[in-house]
Copies of this chain bind each other. A is one copy, B any other.
Amino acid sequence: MQAQPQRRGRKRRGLDTPASRRKADYRQLRNPFPVMSVFSDDEAAGMHETALRMLEELGMKVLLPEARRLYAAAGARVEGEMVFIGREIVEAALATAPRSILCRAGDPSRNLTLELGALAFQPGAGAPHATDLKRGRRPASARDFTEFTRLSHHFDVLQMMSPSVEPQDVPTNLRHYFTMLCQMENTDKFPFIFARGTPQTHDTFEMLRIARGLSEAEFAAGVHAYTIINTNSPRCLDIPMAQGLIDFARGGQMSIVTPFTLMGAMAPITVAGAITLSHAECLAAITLTQIAKPGAPVCYGTFTSNVDMKSGAPAFGTSSHFQASLAAGQMARMLGLPWRSAAGSASNINDVQAANENQLGLWGCLLAGATVIIHSAGWLEGGLSVSYEKLVTDVEVLNMVAELCAGAKAGPDQIGFADALSQVAPTGHFFAAPHTMERYTTEFYQPMVHDYANFGTWTERGALDASCRATAVWEAILSADPQPFTPPDRLETLRAFIDKRSAQGGAPPES
C-alpha cells in the first residue's frame, strides 16, 4: 500500500497524524476498567471493623524494639513483643498517609503518580532462580539480574523496576551495591531497594542521591525509590521489615506494604478471613510509617491466594486469588490509598497454565482497581523463578491492556459513513477505502511475539510456539548496545563509594 493517499487525506481533514491517533502512552496509565466488588459495602465495613478489633484485642507481634517504642509513644499498649494498637492510633495514621504519591524516575517522562485510578506494572520479583529456553533453570546470577534490568527497562509498559532475581553469586554484604549500580547503569525508571537493615538502606539511598545528582535535602524531599514490606503473617512484623518501614518513612522514600498470605495456610481459608487478616497487618504497618514520619509515602497492598488443600502447595491465578484482589480493592478504596496487588503463576514453565493463571490474576487486579500490579510479567513457580520468555509473552498482554487504556472514539470520522461505509459495495472489501488508507499503519497494535501466519506458513517457519519465539525477542533486546543512563562522572563517584564501603566490609543484611 502507498502512504501517499494517507498523507493527503490527513491534510484535507486536518486530523491528527495516524501515529498520534493510536499510540497509547505506556508510561502513565489510568485504569479504564470498571471497579468490581466481591462483597457488599456492609460486609467490607465488617471486615475493617474486625481488623481494628484484631489490632486492639489480639495485637501484633513486633520484633524490633525501636518499632515497639514508636508504637508505645503513639499510645499503643505494649506487652513483651506484643503491641496492641487502638483504633484512634490507626485512624490518626490513615489521616496523614498521602492519597497521591509522585514517584520520581531518572527521566521525568518516567515519573509516576500513584493514586487510586492510576495503573502501573512491575515485572516478576524476588525469585531465587532464573530460567530461559537457551540456558535452562539455574540459581540466579549477577548476569541474570543485569539482563532482567535491561529487559524490564526496554518495555515501557513496565513502569517500575523490580528486584527480578537474587544475584546469588554476589556476596550478601555487597549485593545491594551491585543491584543499585546495575539499576543506575541500565535504566532511568523508578528503582527498587530491598529493606534489609539500616546500613544497606542508607548505602543505597546515598548511591541513589549521587546518581540523581541531588543534595541530601533534595533527595529527602522527593520519592526516588520504593521497597516492598512483607509482614510475617499471621500478625508478626519482623526486624528488617519494621526497620524498613521506619527508615524509608524517615528518608522520605516509599514503602509498599504487602502481607503475603495463602488462604488455608498462614491466613484463614476464606477470602473474607484472609483479607481481614491482611488488612489488619497492613493497617499496623502503615501506622508505623506515619508514627515514624507523618505524611510518609506508603502504599496499601495485598498478595493473597489460596493453597491447594490436597497438597498444601500455593496456587496462583485462581478464582480465590481473583476474589482476594477484589476484596483488597474494596478495603483500599475505603482508606483512599494507592495500593498494590499481584498477578502470578504456579506453573513450572511458560506454558498454557502459566499464561492462563497470570492473565486471570491480572484481570482480578485490573477489576479490583489496583494502582500497582506486581509480578505482572515473568513470574513462575509461585515466585521461585523468573522466566525470560514469560516476561516477553506476558508483556504482550500488558501492552494490549495499555492499548485498552487509550480507549477509542466513535465520532463521525471514526464511524466513516462517507469515507468507508458508503464507499464499498455489498460483499466488497475495505482494504482500499480512504478511511482505511489513512489509518492502516497505525490503527492496530502490532504484536511482538503473537503470530498470525496460517498453519502452512507457520509450519514452514519451523512450527515454533510462542514461548520459543519469545527467546528471539529477548535475545534481540539484549544484543543491542547498552545505553548509559547515569552520567559518567556520577558513575565514577558511585563506583568509588562502592569501593570504599566494600573495603569497610559492606553491609550484611539484618534479620
Residue interface mask A245-282, B partner, CB < 8 A = 1: 00000000000000000011111111111001100000
Does A67 interact with chain B (Cβ within 8 Å)? no
Docked complex Cα distance between A424 and B351 (Å)? 37
Does A89 interact with chain B (Cβ within 8 Å)? no
> Which residues of B have CB within 8 Å of A422?
54, 57-58
Residue interface mask A176-188, B partner, CB < 8 A = 1: 0000000000000
Residue interface mask A318-337, B partner, CB < 8 A = 1: 11101100010000000000
Does A34 interact with chain B (Cβ within 8 Å)? yes
B410 touches A443 (CB 8 A): no
B427 touches A322 (CB 8 A): no
Does A168 interact with chain B (Cβ within 8 Å)? no
> Which residues of B have CB within 8 Å of A57?
422
Contact pick for A347, options B35, B82, B314, B466, CB 8 Å:
B466
A270 touches B232 (CB 8 A): no
Docked complex Cα distance between A273 and B411 (Å)? 10
Given contacts A315-B452, A360-B400, A409-B43, contact A350 B353 (CB under 8 A): no
> Which residues of B have CB within 8 Å of A236?
426-427
Q: Which residue of B lies closest to A267 (CB)?
A: B430
Given contacts A33-B367, A234-B428, A276-B421, contact A450 B357 (CB under 8 A): yes
Residue interface mask A367-404, B partner, CB < 8 A = 1: 10000000000000100110000100100110011011
Docked complex Cα distance between A233 and B407 (Å)? 26
A352 touches B43 (CB 8 A): no
Residue interface mask A439-458, B partner, CB < 8 A = 1: 11101111101111111001
Chain A interface size band reads 35 or more
Q: Which residue of B lies closest to A404 (CB)?
A: B319
Contact pick for A269, options B270, B355, B443, CB 8 Å:
B443
Residue interface mask A61-105, B partner, CB < 8 A = 1: 100000000000000000000100000000000000000000000
> Which residues of B have CB within 8 Å of A314?
452
Given contacts A38-B407, A426-B60, A428-B234, contact A351 B348 (CB under 8 A): no
> Which residues of B have CB within 8 Å of A322?
400, 404
> Which residues of B have CB within 8 Å of A33?
36, 367
Contact pick for A46, options B410, B440, B466, B470, CB 8 Å:
B410
Residue interface mask A118-139, B partner, CB < 8 A = 1: 0000000000000000000100
Does A475 interact with chain B (Cβ within 8 Å)? no
Q: State the number of copies, please.
A: 2
Q: A215 → chain B, closest Cβ, in Å?
A: 42
Q: A139 → chain B, closest Cβ, in Å?
A: 13
Does A141 interact with chain B (Cβ within 8 Å)? no
Docked complex Cα distance between A35 and B425 (Å)? 35
Query: Which interface residue of A44, A82, A397 has the most chain B CB atoms within 10 A?
Result: A397
Contact pick for A426, options B43, B234, B396, CB 8 Å:
B234
A410 touches B54 (CB 8 A): no
Contact pick for A323, options B38, B46, B404, CB 8 Å:
B404
> Which residues of B have CB within 8 Å of A32?
36
Interface residues of A in 16-50 (CB under 8 A from B): 32-36, 38-40, 43-44, 46-47, 50
Interface residues of A in 293-350 (CB under 8 A from B): 306, 308-315, 318-320, 322-323, 327, 346-350
Does A414 interact with chain B (Cβ within 8 Å)? yes
Docked complex Cα distance between A61 and B323 (Å)? 49
Q: Which residue of B lies closest to A403 (CB)?
A: B319
Docked complex Cα distance between A367 and B312 (Å)? 33
Given contacts A356-B359, A452-B314, contact A309 B444 (CB under 8 A): yes
Q: Which residue of B lies closest to A1 (CB)?
A: B309
16 examples of A-B residue contacts, CB within 8 angstroms: A50-B417, A58-B421, A236-B426, A264-B431, A266-B429, A268-B416, A269-B443, A272-B411, A273-B420, A314-B452, A319-B445, A352-B390, A352-B466, A353-B466, A355-B355, A384-B455
A272-B409, A311-B452 given; name 10 further pairs at CB < 8 Å.
A232-B426, A264-B444, A318-B444, A319-B404, A319-B445, A320-B445, A348-B455, A356-B450, A381-B455, A385-B455
